[in-house]
Amino acid sequence: MRVTLAFAAMLGITAATSAQRLVAYDPFGGLMAETQPPDTIVPAPNPPFPIYPTVPILPPPAAIAAGDATSNTITGMTWFTNGMVLASMPSPSFPPAGPAMPPFPIAPPVLAMLGGPVTGIALNPVAGILWLTSGGLIVGVAPVPGTPVVFPPFALAFPTGPLAGLEWDGLTGTLLAVDLGAVTYTFFPGGLPAGPPILLPLVMPAPIGDVAIDKSGVANPAGVRSIWITGGPLFVDLTLPMGPIPTGVGPGAGLAYLPRPASAPPLGACPCGPLFTPVWGTTGPMTAGNGAFAITLGGLPPGQIALFAFDFVFNPAFPLINGVGCPLGLVIGSATMAVGAGFAGPGGVAVFPFGLPMIPGLGPIYEQTFTLCPADPVGFVLAPMLQLAAGGT
């Protein structure tokens, strides 16, 4: 059975919760860390995982405010810079849907136009525009060697402090910027405002580094899309009343939306006693239009069956119904549940296609995978429950 978000749309979707992960970049330590922000399913902060070196490790920035990260949500690649050089790399959490670009310098005329090393980058992957700022002017370049200018430089049509980070929101066709005073702005390419400034309701203990928006397109518990900013080794959601959360890396962190499902519990391993440990995954980025997107369950004995269950509702109590494995997040007996099956291949991975149509913001749908386990009292174990949404670009 093939389950798609188009099928889900016919049934109707009533739930609303954010479904996202973030990747933070430390240009001084050459590290990235992925984390799952608190949401309706897992309201407590989660530890950053995985934490890994950038490939390549760029020379550290010449200035504390230089350096940033952004994501290509179509390919799943993370772009990063030390202010002078651009590079891209895949997340170890899922295979990329496109190639990495070898490192290349930002053209000296572009840096001269901006007035110094780049402090913020944001990528429009559909138009192929990489937005750059050095704290004041913003310019759009093609993300290729030579960084040719494809959108002329502009200043924002309203006063700001020095800009520390940029973000692109493909759902609204706008840019976001955060300044060193922790004020976040939304505006159209060219500089006209797209909304009022957003103030940070607390004081961050370190300089502001970057801004990112939830590109899944669905609402968080406050009824809006989450917007996060970093301050040193911490990040905070501007839309929710909660304190700062560790990024997992050092100061100067860039921040980028990661098109990967959120999970509960987040770390993903649910052992079948001493026999095997099934681990969930995906075949690529979770973004609208990725028809090749699929959910996987690895670590299984070859030929083993896996049942992939989907629904629009979940059980917030997450009862542990068996002695081994992850808590049950779905509601057994739900009238809207759909179930499909897959079998592990020779490498022990079961794959279930779940093509994502070009409908940004459709979701979330909740998924949980069941597999047989003779070491368990009830004969099976559960993988973590996932939140799926066709994210925007």
pLDDT digits (tens, 9 = 90+) for 306-327: 999 999 999 988 888 877 778 9
Q: Which residue has the higher pLDDT, 371 or 13?
A: 371
Give the number of other Cβ atoms within 10 Å of residue 115's Cβ.
11
Model confidence at 146, pLDDT cuts 50, 70, 90, reads: very high
Return the percentage of the chain with pLDDT > 70, whole number: 94
Instruction: Using the predicted structure, report yes or no on whether residue 266 has a pLDDT greater than 60.
Output: yes
Strand partners, 297: 280, 350
- Averaged pLDDT, 95-124: 96
Q: Please say if the pLDDT value at position 357 is more than 90.
A: no
- Note the CATH number of domain 20-259: 2.120.10
Both tokens assigned to 382: 């559960």
pLDDT tens digits, one per residue of 38-68: 877 777 778 899 999 999 999 999 888 899 9
* Tally of CB atoms within 10 A around 334: 15
Is residue 287 pLDDT above 60, yes or no? yes
**7 confidence band (pLDDT: 50, 70, 90):** very low
What integer is the mean pLDDT of 165-175?
96
Give the model confidence (pLDDT) of 361-387 as tens digits.
Answer: 777 899 999 999 998 888 999 999 999
**Domain 263-390 classification at class level:** mainly beta
Question: Which residues of the chain does CATH 2.60.40 include?
Answer: 263-390
> If you average pLDDT over residues 121-136, what whole number do you get?
97
According to the model, what pLDDT value does residue 198 have? 95
Return mean pLDDT, the chain.
Answer: 90
Averaged over 177-187, what is the pLDDT? 96
User: 381, 275 in Cβ contact below 8 A?
Assistant: no
